[in-house]
Structure 1
Amino acid sequence: MTTPYRCPNCKTNRSRFNLIKQIPLAVKMDPQTGNIMEEYAQDELSPFHTPYNGPDVKVQCAACGLIEDEKTFVKFGEMK
């Protein structure tokens, strides 16, 4: 994270952001109650459970509140 950011929504914020670390928790839930029946470690998922493959970090603009992938803010930060 050594590249400059710029918000693609408000287009003026280049300095105030919230970095949101995404930590997936693989679970099996009861379909009737919504209670968690089982938690899985990432290396021990059941055959029908697809592992999380989304971004590790999301970014929120602290000026307007937009939440997007980090690469979106980086791309706008590269533009002059």
Structure 2
Amino acid sequence: MATPYRCPNCRTNKSRFNIIKQVAESVKLDPKTGSVMQTYENGNLDAIHLPYRGPEYKIQCGVCGLIEDERMFAKFGESSI
């Protein structure tokens, strides 16, 4: 996060952003009710349950509200230097 950002949508915002920390929780749901039947830790997932592999952070533009991966805002920030 030590890189300049620029919004790829509104293209003018370089300073107002919301950093969204993503915390994944692995669960098994009841297919009929949707209630949580079991919560998994990263070390004890079922054989068919993949661990979360998405980005740790998402960024939201504080001007237009666009939410994207951090690398998208960083890539546009590089081009404005």
Calculate the aligned-residue CA RMSD, in Å: 0.5
Q: Residue 9 in 1 paired to residue 16 in 2?
A: no
Q: Residue 79 in 1 paired to residue 79 in 2?
A: yes
Distance in 2 between residues matched to 1:60 and 1:43, nearest whole Å = 31
Task: Give the structure 2 partner of residue 41 of structure 1.
Answer: 41
With normalisation by structure 1, the TM-score equals 0.98
Code of the aligned partner of 1:52: Y
Question: 1:6-50 CA deviation, whole Å, 9 max, x = no partner?
Answer: 000000000000000000000000011000000000111011101
Code of the aligned partner of 2:20: I
Q: Runs (4+) of structure 1 moved beyond 4 Å? A: none
Code of the aligned partner of 2:78: E
Aligned-pair CA distance for 1:74: 0.1
State percent identity of aligned pairs.
Answer: 59
With normalisation by structure 2, the TM-score equals 0.97
Distance in 2 between residues matched to 1:34 and 1:67, nearest whole Å = 27
Q: Residue 18 in 1 paired to residue 18 in 2?
A: yes
Task: Give the structure 2 partner of residue 32 of structure 1.
Answer: 32
5+ long unaligned stretches in structure 2: none
Distance in 1 between residues matched to 2:57 and 2:29, nearest whole Å = 25
